[in-house]
Amino acid sequence: MRVESETLMSAVPPLPELPEHRLSIVVPMYQEEDSVGPFVARVSECLHEYPHPWELLLVNDGSRDGTRAAIERERQQVGAHIRLIELSRNYKQTAAMQAGIDHARGDVIVTLDGDLQNDPVDIPRMVARLLHEDLDLVAGWRQNRQDALVMRKLPSRIANRLIARMTGLEIKDNGCSLKVFRASVLRRIRLYGEMHRFIPAWLSTVTSPERIAQEPVSHHARQFGESKYGISRTFRVVLDLFFVYFFMRYRTRPGHFFGGLGLWLLGIGGAVLAYLLGLKLLGENIGTRPLLLVGFFFLIAGVQSMMAGILAELLVRVLFESGASRSYQINEQASSLGDAPWHQPKA
């Protein structure tokens, strides 16, 4: 099975010259028992001659199949630079990715999926671009995407255009998990919810958009199992996008957003009540008019928007960014969190 999977992948090109660094590869995995072995083999093949230390962090996101056992088997056979992070239950992809980032030790951090659709052969080229061009993020761009048109490609295209319009970042493939980061910059942000799709947008809040680039990468059809994500994720993306839009533009002045909305509601409610007051002064009975309730509803909604919304959003950001709360829990006994050795280059 492993040999067959490798034949579908690209040939490994000569490695580019790279400045001194340590590389951490973070891979969330959920129900990927059959993919673990071929994936680790492909990473090892592509980075066998890598001239600098590297580690592979496989985050088992509460899988109920044999994913954990498969990771342990590869760790024993390949080496302790294959590290297992075992989450106590299924926290979804974003939390699993954040868990790997929190425990990565490298100066450069790579994220990608473990289903062999992303090809690790692209990693050295993307790392070289990050370091040589002094960038903070190089995002993968699946130009020849091997996915179903209606269920995957079409929703992705719509989402990418919507994200670009609302965030101002012209990233053509926000959904590609293969990304290369400068670790010091990536650690300035935290991911939760479904926010892994908006990492370029989040990163643009702590670094210049000119330090974010995209690179065409390989993409292959899924070889094992089934996709864990369906079209339903599109609705979650839309909800998260509104929060990204709010945070990017109003994070230092949330009162302007909620206050503006509240003023509009107060204005509508005030106009309705002023109209009714005019009718009352003309001698009409307004006590049984539904419009009276509508006017008071807008007034109350305006006040609530100005007060409760601001407090709720600020409290959520304080909760997650203070470090007092995490979006995942690790099973430390089943994880390899100690001082594991790196994969070292040959002398």
Half-sphere exposure of 259 (CA within 13 A, CB side): 5
More confident: 333 or 20: 20
Interval 248-252 mean pLDDT: 69
* pLDDT reading at 112 higher than 90: yes
What contacts 4, CB < 8 A, 6 or more positions away? Answer: none
Residue 171 pLDDT greater than 60, yes or no: yes
- pLDDT over 70 at 170, yes or no: yes
Return the structure tokens found at 34.
């059959």
182-210: average pLDDT: 85
For residue 153 the two structure tokens come to 């490609």
Residue 22 pLDDT grade (very low, low, confident, very high; cuts 50, 70, 90): very high
Q: Is the pLDDT of residue 156 over 90?
A: no
Average pLDDT in the 300-329 region? 70
Mean pLDDT of the chain: 83
Q: Evaluate if residue 6 carries a pLDDT over 50.
A: no
DSSP structural state of residue 27: E
On the question of pLDDT at 285 being above 50, the answer is yes
Whether residue 237 is predicted with pLDDT greater than 60 in this model: the reply is: yes
Give me the sign of the Cα torsion angle 80, 126, 173, 185: positive
Mean pLDDT of 220-243: 66
| pLDDT tops 80 at residue 54 | yes
Q: How many residues does this entry show for the chain?
A: 347
**pLDDT at res. 122:** 95
Task: Between 259 and 32, name the one with better pLDDT.
Answer: 32
Confidence of residue 111 (pLDDT cuts 50, 70, 90): very high
Which tens digit of pLDDT belongs to each residue from 115-135? 888 999 999 999 999 999 999
